[in-house]
């Protein structure tokens, strides 16, 4: 799900997309969906995977709620700011002395030193059960553990997905409702979640604190092997599905967290398309089913089937365990054996059957629920898809296919991607090329936004271009750029805030669960050297691959996903008929039993765990928490009106650069054009080279270069936001001058005159935003609310919200009829931005690297005009404060309500608010919106810079009931009776967010963000002191403050037209309805 798959080629692509080098086909709809604060923190993933892999229990959504605060980000979304998802290099560690051969019931099977990650790998086997464990020993302080079970399915009931949620709802040793939530409240974890793949289920945790790490491991081990859910059907009902009826007069309804989550998934046309691709490519094995669950058949699942699945697959003999980091290797074995020694060996049949290749191309047509289009005819999704092989590929072939994938699709200048974009047949490229998340690798590519009459033209274009590339090959500069980009990513090995050990675990598991060597996917040095040698000798590496795996491969499926404006109503009608038939068949006694069951479940969901039970969950002590902040070394100098920040940190000879240009000179009417201006800088020709040549030079000279707008409110200055255009790049120290010359060229000499390319980008943005409203509706609702209260929020709405979508729709037509005027606007933005005065350069590297960069930085700054023009007047009216329902075709809702605590109350910022906000999200909102309400996520967000406080829900079956839950928050806080342990957990969990793990480049970027926002280390220490001193009275006081949100708050919901209409019947005049799709 998160990191690409098991082979080196897939690692390459995940690395490059995550690092901002490659365009992402799409971001995951379910991982780290930040609640309206900064969608730029959404975790980048591979295509197909968001549909295939389900993230568990909603933890990432909640945890990410506070990540922005650490980094100080509140910016317009950008790929460059995304958390980067690729394997990372552990700090250098020499091979350990001879490993322990036998300990705690385990026998060493193999030991090996992996130079790529400076790690000593020990593979043990448990004597009693046959369970295998990989124990990676290195000096990475961010320790990682995971347990993975093979869990193939023979139906789409969603059993592994529901089970993945349910096992974390109490266990033998931890007999509380949700130990998982208790860990979220009071752990220093750097990762806490679970994933459901089509054929396996993963339970990973990570922490830098050793005691906290072992606490997490113990809770997860007890959860998977001794969960409460297999004896308590109420857990199954809560997380999976159940009938609900509050009174005998009520209609019957379906509820359940996974049930509603998957309704949200199936509301996204992109997800529907990728599901169709997977099922059509694998008609004969487990992949033809949806392990996440099809909401039309999830209610067929019985509790007995649920129990049997756990009994069959959740056994040590079917498990693979993983450890990574600097903790004691023998202690790892002791912890595992304390659980495994209760079991005996069991033969588990869980192997994934190989899909036999079919030697006849096929065509599949499916449909998605479409609304009444606002801009003409509905469009299709069209793609060609292959299963590449029945047998495992050797490592060098895998690597070669990864390079081929990059060369064909890796950048917007890559020939296959460019041909699709230039064709005019669709709005955006569909599919991500190579994908090896499953047992057999696949290749998928096409277009979305295709006119129905052009479906066959897309297929013809793909096949013709592949045939052309087989013969013509790729230019030497394209290959050089690919080699540099890929090798840079492999050697940089930067995972952002994603645990490095988890990155390696997921990659290794991609081979291990198929009974292949788990170490081979981690070793890329020799295959890469061999591959480079072949290229240097002039061998035709890529043509034969195109011929064998694509052109001559008849296991090819053309998938067309067509719009159906009646499908949504049909789905709703079918569900309603099913429920009506069930209700009709019930006699009075059965109705009474159903009502009693509903009340019993809700009572149990709302009941508090006993203090004795809560005490079973291990917690740290406040004395374990550092009292002082961690500072980033920062030196500030000036150069001819520009500011230079440098951060002396070890970066392994990589220089990380941010060049910030003040946006305040851009006229208000041009702000909506800024994001596309940023994209244009690296997607059009310069005065001395073509777009293709520029792209290849970026690949040859850097590890990536991107441009994006950065905006944020500044506390105390609601009408004076921070606003910059940010150029972000990285390169090896020896190529610093090349990198800065590139930055200079794209800023000063980009021609901005390629009408066709600009129109492609407009169409891509439009397509992406329209799909985003169905999958990330909460972020758009949140942005809409912010635009009512402050200038920074208004700017974000202009550059990334519904207002921006409306601008893009109009711009698409304007490009056709008024291109000269559009081009003049782009040049006006450039003129307003380019000035040395007010510019800022941020550099992260070690002393030698920084010193080496200094002359090139000075030369870059000297190339900019000295003085900027006058600041523009940004005084357009904010959005009016009114309740809105933004309607799209969807089976779920995203419900937001917010107010501004600085403007609506006399609240003064205190670090205690961070503690209360996190606690509220993990208790009242979790219980009311998610557990009882059935939404996939319910959370709150407080922006200390703007003062905006928002409640948000994600994939929510409710609308008005959710608002009632929000409005109950103040009373909950004011009446709260916190025990000392609960308060301690709340404080520690907040510190865990504030001290989130960062690699050097992230530290440098966070320091930049704090500098721009005026957040000093002294203020950070004050906030930390306030967090650590939080008292029960602070919860009650914040509850009083939140009364303003209940009484003065405004509501924005992304929902369906039918749900909005029903809400207006219940509360006439409550919403203004705005059709979006």
Strand-pair partners of 102: 107
pLDDT for the residue 395 = 87
Least confident stretch, 4-8, 344-348, 725-729, 811-815:
4-8
Taking the alpha carbons at both ends of the chain, their separation in whole angstroms is: 29
The residue-averaged pLDDT of 469-488 equals 94
CA proximity to 229, closest of 318, 312, 339, 307? 307
Q: How confident is the model at residue 492 (pLDDT cuts 50, 70, 90)?
A: confident
Ordered DSSP codes for 423-453: T-S-SEEEEEEEE-SSSS-EEEEEEEEE-GG
| 245, containing H or E segment | none
Beta-carbon contacts of residue 98 (< 8 Å; ≥ 6 apart): none
Strand partners, 368: 563
- Look over the chain and give the mean of its residue pLDDT values, rounded to a whole number: 89
CA 42/CA 779 separation, integer angstroms: 11
Which run of H or E residues covers position 359? none
Catalytic annotation, pick one of 237, 239, 366, 459: 239
Residue 26's nearest CA partner among 586, 770, 682 is: 770
Q: At residue 33, does pLDDT exceed 90? A: no
Confidence of residue 375 (pLDDT cuts 50, 70, 90): low
pLDDT in tens, 799-818: 999 999 999 999 999 999 99
Q: Per-residue pLDDT for 72 more than 70?
A: no
Distance separating alpha carbons of residues 915 and 904, to the nearest angstrom: 21
**pLDDT per residue as tens digits for the range 124-133:** 999 999 999 9
pLDDT digits (tens, 9 = 90+) for 645-690: 999 999 989 999 999 999 999 999 999 999 999 999 999 999 999 9
Q: Is 540 exposed, middle or buried (CB count within 10 Å of its CB: 0-12, 13-18, 19+)?
A: exposed
Show the tokens assigned to 596.
């009693």
Q: Which pTM does this prediction carry? A: 0.90
Pairing of strands 200-207, 189-192: antiparallel
Distance CA 86, CA 70 (A): 21
* Confidence (pLDDT) at 373: 65
Burial 413-442 (b: 16+ CB within 10 A, else e): bbbbbbbbbebebbbbbbbbbbbbbbbbbb
949 alpha-carbon distance from chain centroid = 23
Give the pair of three-digit tokens for residue 158: 């969603």
pLDDT tens digit string along 161-182?
999 999 999 999 999 999 999 9
Among 865, 818, 783, 829, which residue's Cα sits nearest to residue 675? 829
DSSP string, 1004-1016: HHHHHHHHHHT--
How far is it, in rounded angstroms, from Cα 255 to Cα 706? 44
Ramachandran sector of residue 1051 (left: φ over 0; alpha: ψ -120 to 50; beta: rest): beta
Angle made by CA atoms 139, 141, 146, in degrees to the nearest 5: 100
The C-alpha atoms of residue 1059 and residue 953 are separated, in whole angstroms, by: 15
pLDDT at 846: 96
Ordered strands of the 428-435 beta sheet? 362-369, 556-564, 380-387, 442-450, 428-435
Token code pair at residue 42: 């959404």
What SS3 class is residue 893?
A: strand
Q: pLDDT tens digits for 188-235?
A: 999 999 999 999 999 999 999 999 999 999 999 999 999 999 999 999
CA dihedral 204, 205, 210, 215 (to 10 degrees): -100
Query: How many whole angstroms separate alpha carbon 520 and alpha carbon 527?
Result: 10
Instruction: Write out the two tokens for 833.
Output: 């931005």
What digits encode the pLDDT tens for the residues 222-255?
999 999 999 999 999 999 999 999 999 999 999 9
Active site residue 239: yes
Tell me the average pLDDT across 769-794: 95
Q: How far apart are alpha carbons 663 and 720 in whole angstroms?
A: 12
Asked whether the beta carbons of 923 and 976 are under 8 A apart, the reply is: no
163 CB contacts (<8 Å, ≥6 apart)?
Answer: 151, 201, 229, 306, 309, 310, 314
Determine the Cα–Cα distance for residues 53 and 834; give it in Å rounded to an integer. 44
Q: Taken in order 577, 580, 584, 590, is the CA torsion positive or negative?
A: positive
Orientation of helix 674-681 relative to helix 791-800, angle to 10°: 60
Q: What is the DSSP letter of 987?
A: H
* Residues 6+ away with beta carbon under 8 Å from 501: 90, 136, 140, 142, 143, 144, 206, 322, 323, 324, 325
Of 417, 432, 434, 423, whose CA–CA distance to 456 is shortest?
Answer: 423
Element (H, E) at 971: helix 969-974
Helix axes 777-786, 791-800, angle to 10 degrees: 140
748 Cβ neighbours under 8 A, 6+ residues apart: 834, 863, 864
Instruction: Report yes or no: 1042 and 970 within 8 Å, Cβ to Cβ.
Output: yes
Q: What integer pLDDT is reported at residue 23 of this predicted model?
A: 28
Kindly name the residue from 132, 164, 459, 696 that is annotated as catalytic: 164
Angstrom distance (rounded) from CA 291 to CA 902: 46
Query: pLDDT digit string (tens) for 85-132?
Result: 222 333 334 445 468 999 999 999 999 999 999 999 999 999 999 999
Over residues 491-497, the mean pLDDT reads 83
Which pLDDT does position 98 carry in this prediction? 62
Q: Following DSSP, what letter does each residue of 49-94 receive, concatenated?
A: HHHH-EEPTTHHHHHHTTHHHHHT------GGGSPP-S--PPPP-P
Residue 720 structure tokens: 């004076």
| Average pLDDT of span 404-423 | 96
Using CB atoms within 10 Å of the CB of residue 93, give its burial: 0 to 12 exposed, 13 to 18 middle, 19+ buried. middle
What was the pLDDT predicted at 189?
A: 94
What pLDDT digit, counting tens, does each position of 331-365 carry?
999 999 999 999 999 999 999 999 999 999 999 99
523-568: pLDDT as tens digits: 999 999 999 999 999 889 999 999 999 999 999 999 999 999 999 9
- pLDDT tens, 920-964? 999 999 999 999 999 999 999 999 999 999 999 999 999 999 999
Among the residues of 446-514, which ranges form H helices? 455-472, 476-492, 500-512
| 480 tagged catalytic | no
Distance CA 82, CA 706 (A): 12
Q: What is the DSSP letter of 138?
A: S
């Amino acid at each position: 799900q998160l990191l690409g798959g098991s082979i080196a080629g897939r690692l390459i692509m995940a690395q490059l997309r995550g690092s901002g080098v490659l365009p992402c086909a799409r971001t995951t709809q379910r991982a780290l969906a930040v609640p309206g604060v900064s969608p730029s923190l959404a975790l980048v993933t591979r295509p197909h995977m968001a549909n295939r892999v389900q993230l568990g229990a909603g933890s990432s959504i909640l945890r990410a709620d506070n990540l922005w605060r650490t980094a100080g980000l509140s910016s317009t979304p950008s790929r460059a700011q995304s958390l980067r998802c690729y394997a990372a290099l552990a700090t250098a560690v020499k091979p350990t002395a001879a490993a322990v051969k036998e300990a705690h019931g385990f026998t060493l099977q193999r030991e090996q030193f992996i130079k790529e990650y400076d790690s000593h790998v020990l593979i043990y086997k448990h004597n009693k059960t046959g369970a295998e464990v990989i124990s990676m020993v290195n000096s990475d302080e961010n320790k990682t553990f995971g347990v993975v079970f093979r869990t193939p399915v023979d139906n789409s009931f969603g059993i592994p997905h529901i089970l993945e949620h349910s096992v974390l709802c109490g266990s033998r040793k931890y007999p509380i409702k949700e130990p998982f939530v208790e860990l979220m409240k009071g752990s220093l974890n750097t990762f806490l979640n679970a994933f459901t793949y089509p054929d396996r289920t993963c339970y990973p945790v990570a922490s830098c604190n050793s005691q906290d790490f072992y606490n997490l491991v113990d809770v997860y081990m007890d959860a998977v092997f001794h969960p409460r859910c297999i004896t308590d059907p109420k857990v199954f009902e809560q997380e999976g599905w159940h009938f609900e009826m509050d009174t005998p007069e009520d209609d019957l309804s379906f509820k359940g967290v996974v049930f509603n989550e998957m309704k949200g998934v199936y509301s996204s046309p992109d997800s529907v398309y990728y599901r169709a691709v997977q099922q059509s490519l694998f008609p004969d094995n487990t992949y033809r089913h949806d392990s996440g669950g099809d909401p039309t058949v999830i209610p067929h699942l019985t509790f007995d089937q649920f129990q049997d699945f756990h009994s069959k697959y959740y056994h040590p003999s079917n498990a693979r365990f993983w450890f990574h980091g600097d903790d004691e290797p023998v202690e790892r074995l002791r912890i595992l054996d304390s659980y495994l020694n209760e079991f005996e060996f069991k033969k588990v049949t869980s192997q994934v059957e190989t899909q036999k290749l079919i030697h006849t191309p096929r065509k599949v047509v499916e449909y998605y629920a479409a609304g009444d289009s606002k801009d003409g005819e509905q469009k299709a999704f069209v793609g060609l898809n292959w299963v590449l092989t029945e047998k495992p590929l050797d490592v060098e072939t895998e690597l070669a296919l990864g390079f081929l994938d990059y060369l064909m699709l890796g950048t917007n200048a890559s020939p296959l991607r460019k041909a699709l974009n230039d064709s005019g047949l669709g709005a955006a490229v569909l599919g991500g090329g190579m994908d090896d998340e499953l047992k057999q690798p696949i290749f998928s590519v096409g277009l979305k936004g295709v006119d129905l009459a052009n479906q066959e033209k897309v297929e013809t274009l793909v096949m013709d271009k592949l045939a052309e590339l087989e013969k013509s090959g790729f230019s030497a500069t394209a290959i050089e750029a690919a080699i540099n980009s890929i090798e840079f990513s492999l050697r940089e090995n930067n995972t952002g805030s994603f645990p490095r050990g988890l990155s390696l675990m997921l990659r290794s598991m991609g081979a291990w669960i198929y009974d292949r060597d788990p170490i081979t996917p981690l070793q890329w040095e020799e295959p890469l050297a061999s591959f480079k040698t072949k290229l240097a000798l002039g061998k035709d590496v890529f043509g034969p691959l195109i011929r064998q795996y694509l052109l001559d491969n008849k296991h090819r499926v053309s998938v067309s996903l067509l719009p159906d404006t009646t499908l949504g109503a049909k789905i709703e009608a079918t569900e309603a008929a099913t429920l009506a038939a069930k209700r009709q068949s019930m006699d009075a006694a059965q109705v009474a039993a159903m009502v009693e069951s509903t009340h019993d479940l809700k009572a149990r969901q709302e009941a508090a765990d006993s203090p004795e039970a809560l005490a079973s969950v291990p917690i740290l002590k406040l004395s374990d928490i550092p009292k002082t902040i961690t500072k980033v070394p920062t030196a500030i100098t000036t150069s001819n009106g520009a500011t230079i920040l440098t951060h002396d940190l070890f970066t392994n000879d990589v220089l990380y650069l941010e060049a910030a240009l003040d946006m305040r000179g851009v006229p208000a009417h041009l702000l909506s054009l800024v994001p596309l201006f940023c994209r244009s800088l690296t997607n059009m020709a310069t005065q001395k080279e073509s777009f293709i040549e520029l792209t290849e030079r970026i690949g040859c000279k850097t590890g990536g270069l991107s441009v994006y707008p950065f905006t944020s409110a500044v506390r105390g200055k609601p009408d004076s936001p921070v606003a910059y255009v940010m150029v972000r790049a990285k390169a090896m120290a020896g190529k610093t001058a090349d990198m800065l010359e590139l930055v200079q060229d794209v800023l000063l000499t980009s021609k901005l005159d390629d009408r066709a390319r600009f129109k492609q980008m407009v169409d891509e943005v439009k397509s992406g935003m329209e799909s985003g409203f169905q999958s990330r509706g909460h972020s758009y609702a949140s942005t809409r609310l912010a635009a009512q209260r402050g200038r920074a929020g208004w700017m974000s709405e202009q550059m990334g919200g519904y207002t921006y979508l409306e601008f893009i729709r109009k711009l698409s037509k304007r490009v056709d009829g008024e291109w000269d005027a559009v081009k003049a606007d782009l040049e006006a933005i450039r003129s307003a931005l380019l000035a040395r005065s007010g510019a800022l350069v941020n550099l992260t590297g070690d002393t030698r690297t920084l010193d080496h960069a200094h002359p090139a930085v000075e030369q870059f700054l000297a190339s900019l005009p000295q003085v900027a023009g006058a600041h523009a007047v940004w005084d357009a009216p904010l959005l009016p404060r009114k309740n809105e329902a933004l309607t799209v075709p969807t089976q779920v809702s995203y419900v937001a309500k917010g107010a501004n605590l600085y403007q609506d109350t006399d609240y003064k910022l205190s670090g205690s608010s961070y503690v209360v906000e996190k606690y509220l999200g993990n208790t009242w909102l979790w219980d009311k919106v998610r557990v009882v309400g059935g939404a996939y996520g319910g959370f709150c967000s407080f922006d200390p810079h703007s003062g905006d406080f928002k409640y948000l829900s994600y994939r929510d079956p409710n609308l008005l009931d959710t608002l009632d839950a929000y409005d109950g928050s103040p009373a909950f806080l004011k009446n709260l009776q916190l025990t000392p342990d609960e308060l301690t957990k709340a404080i520690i969990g907040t510190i865990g967010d504030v001290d989130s793990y960062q690699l050097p480049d992230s530290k440098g970027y966070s320091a930049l963000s704090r500098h721009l926002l005026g957040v000093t280390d002294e203020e950070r220490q004050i906030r930390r002191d306030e967090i650590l001193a939080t008292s029960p009275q602070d919860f009650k006081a914040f509850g009083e403050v939140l009364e303003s949100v209940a009484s003065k708050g405004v509501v924005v919901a992304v929902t369906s037209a039918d749900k909005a209409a029903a809400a207006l019947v219940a509360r006439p005049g409550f919403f203004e309805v705005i059709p979006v799709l």
